[in-house]
Amino acid sequence: MSGTEPGPRSDREPTAAARAELVRQIRAGGHLGDPRWRAAFEEVPRHLFVPYFFVATARGYQRLSGSDHDPDRRARWLEGVYTDTALATYMRDGELVSSSSQPSLMAMMLEDLRVGEREGTGSGCRVLEVGTGTGYNAALMAHRLGTDRVTTVDLDEEITGPARDRLAAAGYRPAVVTGDGALGCPERAPYDRIIATCALPSVPTAWIEQCTAGALVLAPLATGLIALRVTEPEAVRAEGRFLATPAYFVPLRTPVRTPTGTEPAPAGGRRRAPRDALPREALRDERFHFLWSLAAGSLPLDEILGLWRREDRPRRERFGVTVDGSEQYAWLDSPGGPHRWQLGGG
């Protein structure tokens, strides 16, 4: 299959059945209809990229590992690796720094990258991933596209070093770069797709500048996933809508820079609404919390509540984002409509 590089032989691994069951669950949820992405999830061994993870307990966190001497804990580790859930993989001073995303969400995001759109041109997509994490997502993309078309960047060598080793052990050698993800990776540009696996306060303009015209940027923003189509990379112009699914990721651990050198105020991520100021109906409504996360800092609380009520609790996919040079703004229904505000409240 063109663009696909083989990983370890699945028929020689005792975990092949566990991977097959995970794929079955993901397909039952409506994803992995593309046989090439399905093959990637069937053949890339998640357990190789998650040799241990942390689970919350009453006393803090417990580390479960595939090398644990206790067979019960080893069994819990393997079961967790091939369960459709996010896993905490790197803790620092009691704080979660990196995780392995929920596989079904990863599958949905990879499908929504639409990498097949370029196949008719005779060349595959060049993809930049921001947030290497364990390296598992980079391995899936390398399997689908070929390792020479995948670049992945993360802030700490403590993360990229082990990810690079695990990728090599699995048979994949994409470019693994240690650096500020908000700056992209200009030496490997241009990119046809950019995918982020960390929550953003706003869209880094460097990403747009490093894209080709028509490129797609898919990134977590305000507890959702924004899909931006790049129209003019040189002028830093892109626009798109949110996908329907909720998405919660570890935040990008670096300031996002604009062309003027300023740092916009946070635009959400997991910003919490003031519970004592909200009516019960809003407290219980996930759509309200998305809108609050997207608009807080730009709109006062009473305006956010009013918009949410007047528009009948609008779904995520009714919202979008426009990037126009140094300006970024969010909108409801249409970028030229009456409901728009500066992204980030800066």
Residue 329: which domain range?
275-342
Model pTM? 0.89
Within a domain: 152: yes
**pLDDT tens sequence across 94-147:** 788 888 999 999 999 999 999 987 655 556 899 999 999 999 999 999 999 999
Residues 6+ apart with CB under 8 A from 23: 32, 38, 41, 42
The stretch 4-20 carries a mean pLDDT of: 62
Within a domain: 106: yes
The stretch 298-322 carries a mean pLDDT of: 96
Asked if the model's pLDDT at residue 325 lies above 50, the reply is yes
The stretch 292-316 carries a mean pLDDT of: 94
Shared domain check, 148 and 32: yes
Within a domain: 5: no
- Which of 178, 197, 216 represents a domain boundary (last residue)? 197
3-class SS of residue 74: helix
Q: What are residue 95's DSSP bridge partners?
A: 92
Q: How many alpha carbons fall within 13 Å on the CB side of residue 24? A: 6
Shared domain check, 172 and 61: yes
Out of 19-23, 97-101, 167-171, 290-294, least confident range: 97-101
Q: Which two tokens stand for residue 137?
A: 């997502």
Residue in 230, 205, 46, 218 with CA at minimum distance from that of residue 128: 218
Q: What are residue 220's DSSP bridge partners?
A: 225
Q: What positions carry a catalytic annotation?
A: 101
Asked if the model's pLDDT at residue 7 lies above 70, the reply is no
Q: Where are the alpha helices (DSSP H) in 85-242?
A: 103-112, 136-145, 157-170, 205-209
- Which of 197, 230, 252 represents a domain boundary (last residue)? 197
Within a domain: 1: no
Shared domain check, 306 and 179: no
Within a domain: 256: no
Domain total in the chain: 2
Asked if the model's pLDDT at residue 270 lies above 90, the reply is no
Taking all residues of the chain, what is their mean pLDDT, rounded to a whole number?
88
The stretch 277-286 carries a mean pLDDT of: 88
- Please indicate whether residue 8 or residue 324 has the higher confidence score (pLDDT): 324
Shared domain check, 70 and 180: yes
Within a domain: 236: no
Shared domain check, 39 and 168: yes
Shared domain check, 37 and 129: yes
**pLDDT tens sequence across 53-89:** 999 888 888 999 999 999 999 999 999 999 999 999 9
CATH code (residue 45): 3.40.50.150
Asked if the model's pLDDT at residue 255 lies above 70, the reply is no
- Which of 197, 216, 232 represents a domain boundary (last residue)? 197
